[in-house]
Structure 1
Amino acid sequence: MAVSAAVHGSFLPSRVSELSATMNSRRRVIRPPPPPIFISTNPAYVNPHHLRDLCAASNHSCHRFPNFDSDGRVEPVDVDKLRIALSHSSVMVSVFSKPEVISYYSSSSSNFPKTSSSSPPESSKLMGVGGDWFQRVMPVTPSNGQLVGFGRAVSDSGLTASIYDVMVIPSLRGMGIGQMIVKRIIRVLTSRGIYDIAALCTDKERLFFKACGFGDDLLGSTAMMYTRTVSSCPEDNQMVKRAGRKLLLAPPLRVPFES
């Protein structure tokens, strides 16, 4: 009888087992696995025109106050200014993936499973059996891949640095690629002895950077931005007119001369 009790004590009905497995699967909800990618800190791999296309695909503007069209899309980035910004960046991280893989994730992103049992798309679905089979099984490189992610840092090369323009195309978001970019930037900066690293972000981006190890400044600092106002003129006398991204300031109204 003791043996029988032991056996029945360790037995779980099938319904309970199914319920337990369902609950465990719900607890193990994680991001879908990333596709094969190539990540690099080599600035030679960053083409300004390709980066402009990535900005457009991500609806990302390198300006803090961009202009939007009627569909809510930001204005295109000026390639010449983008090239200058890249030339003065201390760290640039670029991520590439195969175009056919990107197309697969783009078409199936809405129905892609989000549980821990998710697996990358089957090789047969991506490789095919056509004449380009060899090219499809080749590792991802900047020459055969498409720019799908980017991030950069501006630094004085000695004490401080700031992170800007972290972006990933929409179809590959939520897979940890953005965190890979930020962590790679931090690794490069800290290897140079730079630990005072800031990230100017919006409220929507706070959780992302918090997951990357950022938090409130220990010194309680608050970012203050130049607003192009004239402090020497009383505010009620300032004449400010916005022209696109610029603020045009006129001198205060001249008071009539009284004798």
Structure 2
Amino acid sequence: MAIVGSIHGRFIIFNNHKPSIRHRQRRKPTPPIFISTNLSDINPNHLRDLCSTCNHSLHRFPNILPDGRIEPVDVDKLRIALLHSSVVVSVFAKPELVRLPESNTGGDWYRRMIPLTPVTGELVGFGRAVSDNALTASIYDVMVTPTLQGRGIGRMIVQRIIRLLTSKGIYDIAALCSDQEMCFFKECGFGDDMLGSTTMMYSKSGSDMVVSAGRKLLMVPPLRKS
């Protein structure tokens, strides 16, 4: 069964698909986490470290290092991207749990007694959305540290983003994802656009070119190849 939402002639399908009992049994339990939607709780340097741990870049065309990993994102650009994001969701867990994901007894008793907050916890998950705050929105950069993947944290991030957007009356929500991420977003309720739209991205290779925009001449640099 699917719920179809519309706004000003635009439709998107939210599938009420529930994972099978067998699938739920395979999923590891979700550890104690703290979920925040407060931008001030995100340290750009910690987010850059999470991106490096997940080998994820907020840049669509990042440089690839000789070892095959993605070049870390510039912190200043990351800070600007966060400030201009309409919704940000960050997830924190106790550091000893990240190091020992199969055990909840890591660390000394004093650390276990400290309440979990963005200050005492380690950033282990993130997601954001960019929106016009009225009609449409797009979800980007959903990631979870590898040691805690497969525990439902990524789904919680997406659900929290959708809840915040729909509370503003925004139901035209897109998810920019790779082929490998499509199954994850389908499990989160996303489906094909009923209008059959296809995302198209501007791309141009070669040397710098001059583009005429009205009476202005704009220098457009080539995009970096992955």
Q: Could you tell me how far 1:28 is from its partner in structure 2?
A: 6.5
Using CA pairs under 8 Å that are at least 6 residues apart, name the structure with larger relative contact order, 1 or 2. 2
2:94 to 83, 95, 98: 98
User: TM-score w.r.t. structure 2 length?
Assistant: 0.79
Aligned to 2:35: 39
DSSP-derived class of the 1:153 partner: strand
1:88 to 84, 90, 94: 84
2:106 to 126, 131, 150: 126
Aligned residues: 193
**Structure 1 letter corresponding to 2:199:** A
**TM-aligned CA distance change 1:26 to 1:196, over 3 Å:** closer
* Whole-angstrom CA distance in 2 between matches of 1:56 and 1:27: 29
5+ residue gaps in structure 1?
A: 1-24, 109-120, 233-241, 247-259
Q: Is the Cα contact below 8 Å between 1:67 and 1:244 reproduced in 2?
A: no
User: TM-score w.r.t. structure 1 length?
Assistant: 0.69
Q: Could you tell me how far 1:68 is from its partner in structure 2?
A: 1.2
Following TM superposition, the consecutive aligned residue runs of length 4 or more in structure 1 with deviations greater than 3 angstroms are 25-29
> Whose Rg is larger?
1
2:185 to 203, 209, 212: 209
1:100-249 to 2 correspondences below 5 Å: 100-105=96-101, 121=103, 123=104, 125-126=105-106, 128=108, 133-228=109-204, 245=224
Deviations 1:133-154 (A, max 9, x none): 2331223100100000000000
Q: Is the Cα contact below 8 Å between 1:127 and 1:137 reproduced in 2?
A: no
Q: Which has the higher strand share?
A: 2
Q: Which has the higher helix share?
A: 1
Aligned to 1:67: 63
* Whole-angstrom CA distance in 2 between matches of 1:51 and 1:98: 16
* Whole-angstrom CA distance in 2 between matches of 1:59 and 1:82: 15
5+ residue gaps in structure 2?
A: 1-20, 212-220
* Whole-angstrom CA distance in 2 between matches of 1:76 and 1:243: 20
What is the percent sequence identity of the aligned residues? 65
Q: Which stretch has the larger CA shift, 189-198 or 62-71?
A: 62-71
Aligned to 1:116: none
Aligned to 1:78: 74
